[in-house]
Structure 1
Amino acid sequence: MENKVKSHIKSMEYRDFHPERTSRVRGRRPASPAPAAPPVGEARDAWRTLPLEGTFEVVYEDARGAWTTRTLDARELKLGPGRTLLGGTDRAHGLYRGLRADRIRRLTEPASGTRIETGILDWLLARAQAQRQAQRKVRSPRSPRRTA
C-alpha cells in the first residue's frame, strides 16, 4: 500500500508545538509572539460582584445538557466579561456553586412563590440592586435637619 499525503492535512512536527526548543538555524521564521496576557489585577477587576441574598429553587441545564433542580442559598451575582454567575451554597451537597445565568431555565423563590422562566438575568439584577439600595438605607440613615 502506498502512503499518499493528502494535501489538506498538514504535517505535525515537534518544532510546530515547541518553537522555543528548536534551533533557529533551520531557516524557519520564529513563531509570532503570544498575545500579552492582561495584568493579574486587571483580569480580576473585569468581574463585578453584587451581593444577593435569598433561597431559590433553580432548574439548571449543565454543560452536558442535563437538566437538574437545585436549591441554592444565594450569596452573590457575579458579572463578568460575557458571563454572569449566580453564586451560592447548594443545599443538597453543601458546596458553593456558581451557576451560569444563561443556563438557568426556571427560577422559583419559595418564600414569595415567585416563578420566573424568562428574563431571569434581568430579575436577578433588579433584585440585587434593590437589596443593595436597602442595605445603603439601613447603613446610613439620613440625619435630621436642624432648624435655624
Structure 2
Amino acid sequence: MEGNWHVYPLDGALELDYVDQAGHPSRRWVLARELKVGPGKMLLGGIDILSEDGYRGFRVDRIQRLEDAETGLVVEHNILDWLVKRAERQAKARRKFLAKQLVRGQAGA
C-alpha cells in the first residue's frame, strides 16, 4: 500500500493500443512492472520499449486493447480486472516459490 494506492507488482511483456490525453491513438510495447490502483485512477507502470522516456505510467482507462506477448491472449474488455488477476496470480506464485525455498532451507539445516 502506498497512501490510498494499492500497488501490485506485475511482470510481463504487453502490447497496448493506447489513447493519450489529447485523444491520439498509438500502439505501445511495454515491459510491465506494477499496477497501481487508487482513488479514481489506475496506472500500469512499466518500460515503454520504443520510447526514450523509459519508465512511465499508462492510465488503464485509456488502454483500448492489450495483448499478452507471452501467451498471445488479447484483452479488449475488463482490462483492469485482467491486470489485477494476473498480478494476484503472480503474487501467489511468488509466495509459493518462497515457501518452497524456506522449507528446503530448513530441511538442509
TM-score by length of 2: 0.87
What is the CA–CA distance in structure 2 between the aligned matches of 1:62 and 1:93, rounded to whole Å?
Answer: 14
Aligned-CA RMSD value: 1.5
Higher relative contact order (CA 8 A, sep 6+): 2
Point out the structure with the larger strand share.
2
Off by >3 Å, runs of 4+ in structure 1: none
- Percent identity, aligned pairs only, is 44
- The structure whose Rg is larger is 1
Instruction: Give the equivalent residue in structure 2 for 1:88.
Output: 46
CA displacement 1:33-60 (0-9 Å, x = unmatched): xxxxxxxxxxx51111100000000000
The AA in structure 2 aligned to 1:96 is Y
What is the CA–CA distance in structure 2 between the aligned matches of 1:122 and 1:47, rounded to whole Å?
Answer: 16
Residue ranges of structure 1 left out of the alignment (5+ in a row): 1-43, 144-148
Residue ranges of structure 2 left out of the alignment (5+ in a row): 104-109
For residue 102 of structure 1, report the CA deviation from its aligned partner.
0.6
TM-score by length of 1: 0.65
Aligned length: 101
Instruction: Give the equivalent residue in structure 2 for 1:37.
Output: none
